[in-house]
């Protein structure tokens, strides 16, 4: 019998399923501190946690530990690297709380539209202010959903009964797939300009941080509503404060830079604030508990590894090549254009890398989509691609090219102007550095990809680099590295520049116009 330790107030369904299976003995104790509990059960085989921190000190107390399951999506509370060194698999339960968050969004919209919070307080105090609390209806309104992952799609589904017009922005979701869900695909500007309510469902990363800025907020209708149950950092607070003062924007919020007691910086601009309750429902707790138990049983009985988030890299594969694969795909994604919908991926793995194609494929995909982690099971990743109507082809390679230990990724898609677009990148490792050898038609590039990168393609002629450098300097941007390959066949040149910070879209556009660039991109690389 394998001992499973549950040191948290997790729904009893996890314990019940494990005991019913017959292969486990379960100890669930939410009152005893985890270090003390671990010391008393050093023979525990598995640990199922929620927010409890599991670091080396806890693992040292559990020498028999082989599996840690996080009953939830995020696993920042678990030291996955320390776990891997000890041969411990770490799993999570993504999507278990998606419906809870989607319903919270609808609840916030309705509570705000009908002044539920203020009217309740007023009436309890003896008031009868019917005229003051004249409300609005959700039915027939235009709702904009930024991000069409699990939660965004469920928000659209939950709003079906309100007969809303649903707009959606997600460059990774095909227009046809969105239409099947009753969502009209459009760009961010259209969503903020036309929506009565905009709800955010995107991750916070270098590309999205502060993306809800002065420009987008300035497009919103007077009195329109912004809902953020995603991540705090995607909204520029200063810009929102200004937009609220100028246009009476309503702001409904459930996320903060840090989940903790104390003053909140958005208190003066949030019309409704909640203490990050998105996943706090009995049903979400039960779903996460059930999933945690089922995943543990499936791992032990069927060898299903789909939800392991710290899978080991096979012997013989340098982990730097996984990092390279992720960077290559992020670069290709940026060069394809942020608005483009990807419909086909082609890869080539040369030399010794060919035998690790499935591992490297996952790293490539993780550089394009947040929904695919490097630890995702290969079959599960392919199913995700099929569900999102993306074709994948791993090409046979021509060994006569002698691209030893190199890899190429080609992305194909359609941009918001309905134009077919294509980006191709080849890279390798040189002196343990990631190196880009080719971008599209420009070979022998030998560029180290990192940080903030700019790309301008133009007809080759003297003086262009000088114009680019001067305009960047005028914008207070410093060039840290540059490559400028030429293609004598087409007569085109490519300026590739590493700069010290992200530049504003207006600056990028003005430079492109000044040098008559046929292609221009700004890409942030991992």
What is the per-residue pLDDT across 154-175, written as a single tens digit (0 to 9) for each? 999 999 999 999 999 988 788 8
Query: CATH assignment of 319-525, given 3.40.50.10320, 3.40.50.300, 3.30.70.260, 3.50.50.60?
Result: 3.30.70.260
pLDDT at 97: 85
pLDDT of amino acid 368: 86
State how far the alpha carbon of 455 is from the alpha carbons of 94, 191, 336, 341, 439, in Å.
36, 28, 12, 20, 10
Q: What span, in angstroms and rounded, lies between the C-alpha atoms of 76 and 66? A: 19
Return residue ranges of the chain for CATH 3.40.50.720.
Answer: 2-94+283-302, 98-273
CA torsion 170-171-172-176 (nearest 10°) is 80
Q: Is the pLDDT of residue 315 over 80?
A: no
- The architecture in CATH of the region 98-273 reads 3-Layer(aba) Sandwich (3.40)
Q: Is the pLDDT of residue 213 over 90?
A: yes
Is residue 497 very low, low, confident or very high in pLDDT (cuts 50, 70, 90)?
very high
What is d(CA 181, CA 463) in angstroms, rounded to the nearest whole number?
50
Say if residues 526 and 453 touch (Cβ distance below 8 Å): no
Average pLDDT over residues 27-54: 95
Q: Which residue has the higher pLDDT, 383 or 186?
A: 186
304 close to 123: Cβ distance less than 8 angstroms: no
What mean pLDDT is reported for the chain?
A: 91
pLDDT given for residue 398 in this prediction: 80
Residue 172: its pLDDT value, please? 76
pLDDT at 402 over 90: no
Question: What would the two tokens of residue 17 be?
Answer: 């399923």
Residue 15 to residue 12: CA distance in whole angstroms:
5
> For the segment 176-203, what is each residue's pLDDT rounded down to a tens digit?
888 989 999 999 999 999 999 999 998 8
Write the DSSP string, 308-326. Answer: BSSPPPPTT--HHHHHHHH
Indicate whether 376 pLDDT > 80: no
- The CATH number of 2-94+283-302, from 3.40.50.720, 3.20.20.70, 3.40.50.2000, 3.40.190.10, is 3.40.50.720
Band the pLDDT of 477: cuts 50, 70, 90: very high
On the question of pLDDT at 273 being above 90, the answer is: yes
More confident residue, 404 or 189: 189
375 pLDDT tier (thresholds 50, 70, 90): low
Average pLDDT over residues 13-19: 96
> HSE on the CB side for 401, CA within 13 Å?
14
272-273 β-sheet, strand order: 184-185, 165-169, 142-146, 197-200, 225-228, 250-253, 272-273
Residue 28 CB-density burial (10 A; 0-12 exposed, 13-18 middle, 19+ buried): middle
pLDDT over 70 for what percent of the chain? 98
Q: Which of 92, 200, 195 is nearest to 151 (CA)?
A: 200
DSSP codes, 106-139: HHHHHHHHTTHHHHHHHHHTT---TTTT-----T
Q: Which residues contact 12 (CB under 8 A, 6 or more apart)?
A: 28, 289
pLDDT of residue 134: 95
Query: Is 314's pLDDT higher than 80?
Result: no
CA dist 409 and 394 (Å) reads 9
Residues of the chain with CATH 3.30.70.260: 319-525
Which pLDDT score, from 0 to 100, does residue 373 have? Answer: 65
Closest by CA to 76, choosing from 191, 187, 204, is: 204
pLDDT-based confidence at residue 374 (cuts at 50, 70, 90): low
Residues 167 and 193 sit within 8 Å (Cβ to Cβ): no
Q: Which tens digits make up the pLDDT trace of 66-78? A: 999 999 877 878 9
The pLDDT of residue 204 = 82
Query: If you write DSSP's letter for every residue of 156-169 in order, what string do you get?
Result: HHHTGGGT-EEEEE
């Amino acid at each position: 019998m394998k001992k499973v330790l549950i040191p948290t107030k997790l729904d009893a369904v996890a314990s019940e399923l494990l005991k019913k299976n017959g292969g486990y003995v379960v100890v669930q104790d939410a009152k005893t501190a985890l270090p003390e509990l671990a010391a008393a059960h050093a023979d525990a085989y598995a640990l199922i946690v929620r927010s409890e921190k599991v670091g080396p000190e806890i693992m040292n107390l559990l020498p028999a530990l082989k599996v840690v399951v996080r009953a939830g999506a995020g696993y920042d509370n678990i030291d996955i690297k320390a776990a891997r060194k000890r041969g411990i698999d770490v799993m999570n339960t993504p999507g278990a709380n998606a419906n809870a968050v989607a319903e919270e969004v609808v609840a916030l919209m309705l509570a705000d539209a009908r002044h539920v919070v203020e009217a309740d307080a007023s009436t309890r105090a003896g008031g009868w202010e019917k005229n003051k609390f004249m409300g609005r209806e959700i039915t027939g309104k235009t709702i904009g959903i930024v991000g069409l992952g699990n939660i965004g799609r469920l928000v659209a589904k939950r709003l079906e009964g309100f007969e809303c017009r649903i707009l959606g922005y997600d460059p990774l979701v095909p227009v046809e797939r969105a239409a099947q869900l009753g969502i009209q695909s459009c760009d961010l500007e259209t969503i903020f300009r036309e929506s009565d309510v905009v709800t955010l469902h995107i991750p916070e990363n270098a590309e999205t941080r502060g993306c809800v800025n002065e420009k987008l907020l300035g497009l919103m209708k007077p009195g329109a509503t912004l809902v953020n149950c995603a991540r705090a950092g995607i909204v520029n607070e200063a810009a929102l404060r200004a937009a609220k003062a100028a246009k009476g924007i309503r702001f409904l919020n459930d996320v903060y830079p840090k989940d903790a007691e104390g003053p909140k910086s958005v208190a003066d601009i949030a019309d409704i604030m909640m203490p990050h309750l998105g996943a706090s429902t009995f049903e979400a707790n039960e779903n996460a508990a059930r999933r945690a138990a089922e995943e543990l049983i499936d791992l032990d009985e069927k060898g299903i590894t789909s939800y392991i988030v710290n899978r080991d890299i096979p012997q013989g594969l340098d982990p730097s090549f996984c990092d390279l694969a992720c960077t290559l795909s992020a670069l290709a994604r940026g060069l394809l254009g942020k608005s483009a919908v990807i419909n086909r991926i082609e890869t080539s793995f040369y030399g010794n890398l060919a035998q690790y194609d499935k591992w490297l494929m996952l790293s490539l995909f993780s550089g394009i989509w947040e929904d695919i982690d490097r630890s995702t099971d290969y079959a599960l990743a392919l199913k995700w691609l099929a569900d999102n109507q993306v074709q994948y082809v791993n090409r046979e390679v021509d060994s006569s090219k002698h691209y030893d230990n190199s890899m190429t990724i080609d992305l194909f898609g359609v941009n918001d102007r309905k134009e077919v677009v294509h980006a191709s990148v080849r890279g390798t490792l040189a002196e343990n550095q990631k190196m880009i050898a080719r971008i599209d038609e420009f070979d022998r590039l030998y560029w180290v990809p990192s940080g903030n990168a700019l790309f301008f393609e133009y007809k080759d002629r003297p003086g262009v680099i000088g114009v680019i450098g001067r305009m960047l300097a005028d914008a207070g941007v410093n060039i840290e590295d540059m490559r400028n390959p030429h293609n004598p066949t087409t007569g085109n040149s490519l300026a590739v520049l590493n700069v010290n910070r992200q530049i504003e879209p207006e600056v990028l556009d003005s430079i492109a116009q000044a040098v008559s660039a046929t292609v221009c991109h700004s890409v942030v690389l991992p």
